Amino acid sequence: MSLRGKVAVVTGSGSGIGRAIAVQLARDGADVSVWDLNRAGAEETVAAIEKEGGRAIACVGDASSEADIAEAVAHTRAERGPVTILVNNAGITGFSPFLDITVEAWERMLRVNLTGPFLCTRAVLPDMLAAGWGRIVNISSSSAQGGAGRMAHYVASKGGVIGLTKALAVELAAKGITVNNIPPGFVDTPMLRASPVPVEAASAVAPMKRPGRPEDIAAACSYLVSEAANYVTGHTLSVNGGRYLA
| Tens-digit pLDDT profile for residues 159-200 | 999 999 999 999 999 999 999 999 998 888 787 677 777 777
The reported pTM is 0.96
- Give the integer Cα–Cα distance in Å for 89 and 42: 14
Tell how strand 55-60 and strand 85-88 pair up.
unpaired
Catalytic site residue 154?
yes
Burial of 86 (0-12, 13-18, 19+ CB in 10 A): buried
Chain-centre distance of CA 232, in angstroms?
Answer: 17
Report residues of the chain scoring pLDDT below 70: 1, 192, 246
Supply the Cα-derived Rg of the chain in whole angstroms.
17
* pLDDT reported for residue 39: 98
Strand, coil or helix: 67: helix
Chain-centre distance of CA 192, in angstroms?
Answer: 16
Q: Which CATH superfamily is domain 7-186+215-229 in?
A: NAD(P)-binding Rossmann-like Domain (3.40.50.720)
Please identify which of the residues 154, 223, 231, 244 carries the catalytic annotation.
Answer: 154
The answer for 241, left when phi > 0, alpha when psi is -120 to 50, beta otherwise, is left
Task: Please report, for residues 94, 166, 197, 230, 241, the alpha-carbon distance to residue 200 in angstroms, rounded to integers and kept in the order given.
Answer: 20, 34, 9, 38, 15
* pLDDT reported for residue 246: 63
- Give the integer Cα–Cα distance in Å for 120 and 9: 9
Q: What are phi and psi of 212, to 5 degrees?
A: -75, 170
* pLDDT reported for residue 76: 98
Question: Domain locations in the chain?
Answer: 7-186+215-229
Q: In what order do the strands lie in the sheet with 7-11?
A: 55-60, 31-36, 7-11, 85-88, 134-139, 177-182
* pLDDT reported for residue 244: 81
